[in-house]
Amino acid sequence: MQKRLRIGIIGGGIGGVALARSLDAVGIDYRLFEKASAFGEVGAGVQMTPNAVKVLKALGLGENLRRMGFLPEAMVGRNGQTGQELFRTPLKTTCPALFGAEFYHVHRADLHAALCQDIPADKAMLGAQCTGIAHEGAQAVANFSDGSRFEADLIVGADGIHSAVRDALWGKEPAHYTGHMCWRGLVQVDRHPLPFVSPDAAFWMGPKGHVVTYYVKGGAAVNIVAVSENSDWVEESWTVKSTQQELLNGFAGWHEDLIALFRRTDPEQIYKWGLFDRDPMARWSRDRVTLLGDAAHPMLPFLSQGAAMAIEDAYVLAQALAHFGADVPAALRAYEGERRPRTARVQLEARERGRTYHMSSPEDLKKRDQEYKAEQARNPNAVGIKAEWVYQYDATNCRERFERETQEN
């Protein structure tokens, strides 16, 4: 009789709870350890692009998405100062046919709640601060600040950009501040009717910054992500409060619709933080420990793929473990082989989008905008931010790829 695997998950963010749900779907036992005293996510929007939606549907959350999400009509690029439309790519009517799933806007807290809604209480250990990782024979051991420990066939670090598991494996190395700071805010539509905010994923591009706006909570609120180049180091935290005036000052001279939207933000729900990333890693795993999500591949949000990549990682890792069973090293090789090339490309191309969105010289802007128009004329369904290759990927087919590769070898 084959041994039943036991997995330890460090971190209860979107990647960690997605892994818990993915393991449960294939019948693999796990325990999840979260350092906070309760599950929760900061109130911000997140774009669930078709590649992530395919996984969420495979995990039984299709109805949750329909209930909590918003389907944007299009992805629209605009000049941040004049409002001129640079491209318009249909989403609502074309994504299912082109990419195999819808494109949803959701509130991050709603997504997190849906992913962890079925985790049994006895499998989630809250207030558990991981302090280190050890190996004992064929087992990995996670140690915690209260003196407890957990032995498992595999420990997965899903504990974010400042991952304790990553530090234990590869040594502590600070993430790189990218020179960008970011504000997030919400505007409640029931309090502020917003006829000037179109039902789209809107990318406002301006010199040395950009703003993304979109509806969440079924259209009951508008999420704002505003990025500005800033050479001064800004803390990497989602809980540093900002002010409405600071947000307005950061985008003085931008289009009147954006300024009007900023003036309607909830003053108690405006946050700021610095954007940090790392270069792609050559390895994620050592012995019976591996990484997932931002612990493995923190990235700039300019392709809206941070949460999506973690969700894909979670599904693929669970499928690899189900396919290879007790051969955990083989499962980790398959996991990394499937995921590292893709996430590395997303990391690097997200950096490039920052350059494209923030151009300031007249010559560069003219060339960029002409390229947008030419691409739109060539293919009206082309995604303006050149992300078709991101959306086409289907993690739910990975098991078939594992089986084919096993047969070939």
Catalytic residue set? 214
- For residues 346 and 362, give the distance between their C-alpha atoms in angstroms, rounded to a whole number: 28
Q: E strands along 122-220, which residues?
A: 124-126, 130-136, 139-144, 149-152, 154-157, 176-188, 201-206, 209-216
Burial class (CB in 10 A: 0-12, 13-18, 19+), 194: middle
Do residues 183 and 224 lie in contact, with contact meaning Cβ atoms separated by under 8 Å? yes
Q: Quote the tokens at residue 256.
A: 């009147």
- Rounded to a whole number of angstroms, the CA Rg of the chain reads 21
- For residues 77 and 261, give the distance between their C-alpha atoms in angstroms, rounded to a whole number: 17
Burial class (CB in 10 A: 0-12, 13-18, 19+), 238: middle
Residue 16 CA: distances (Å) to CA of 2, 10, 13, 77, 157: 26, 7, 5, 33, 8
